Amino acid sequence: MGLKILSEYKRRKRAKQFSTSDTYWETRYAKGGDSGTGSYGRLSEFKAEFLNAFVESNAVKTVIEFGCGDGNQLSLAKYPQYIGLDVSRTIIQAIASRFQDDETKSFFFIDTRAYVDHAGVFQADLSLSLDVVYHLVEDSIFEAYMNALFGAASRFVIVYSSNKDEQSAPHVRHREFTKWVEKNKKGWVLREMIPNRFPYDPASPHETSLADFYLFERS
């Protein structure tokens, strides 16, 4: 009983400390945190293997990523031209410094709630979302993010995420996002779901994941 009370206390404390999705990540990075286990080790290698092969086999010339994070995943990427966007000023400054000598990469701070790109300034063959969707706790932020993600893609959108409805932590809200795409993005078709090579195992939470790849193509 004591352990259950302690666990509930910790859960409520974390919930009280959480404010919004963007402030959570800015605070996390400002305190020296990273993008999480999904961007490291065998999970990052699996993601890079699939994405690099897809970019090459489909002659993708430009890639834009909404939620580029700390750059560890990007360090494994082989993209001809890349734009990385993130809600954390801290991490954009850090990643811009890390890749400052790489002229194929550009980085921008973004708030999708204040994002309107009718001119197509941010456009690419492929628009990426890796381990982001289930961190979009607020409905309004989720909607704005998904509209920006699909709006920036001329050919493909790839989402690496869970695809179920469940909230498991203050900063984690799993969504069955494919239903949203089907309802709101009529010009896009889900071509393929690529299962994770390392599906989630509670005995090894840092080396497995609930996320799979979802490949959308403009119809």
pLDDT for res 34: 94
As a whole number of angstroms, the distance between CA 192 and CA 215 comes to 5
Name the pLDDT band for 15 (thresholds 50, 70, 90).
very low
Locus of tokens 């400390």: 17
Give the CA-trace dihedral at 136, 108, 31, 14, to 10 degrees. Answer: -10
Tokens of 92: 């954009």
Name the pLDDT band for 18 (thresholds 50, 70, 90).
low
Partnered with residue 105 across adjacent β-strands are 82
Tens-place pLDDT, residues 153-166 = 999 999 999 999 99
Tens-place pLDDT, residues 95-114 = 999 999 999 999 999 988 88
State the CB neighbour count (10 A cutoff) for residue 25: 22
Name the pLDDT band for 14 (thresholds 50, 70, 90).
very low
pLDDT higher than threshold 70 for residue 2: no
Q: Are 181 and 216 in contact (CB under 8 A)?
A: yes
**Domains annotated on the chain, with CATH:** 20-218 (3.40.50.150)
pLDDT for res 168: 82
pTM for this model (two decimals): 0.90
Name the pLDDT band for 7 (thresholds 50, 70, 90).
very low
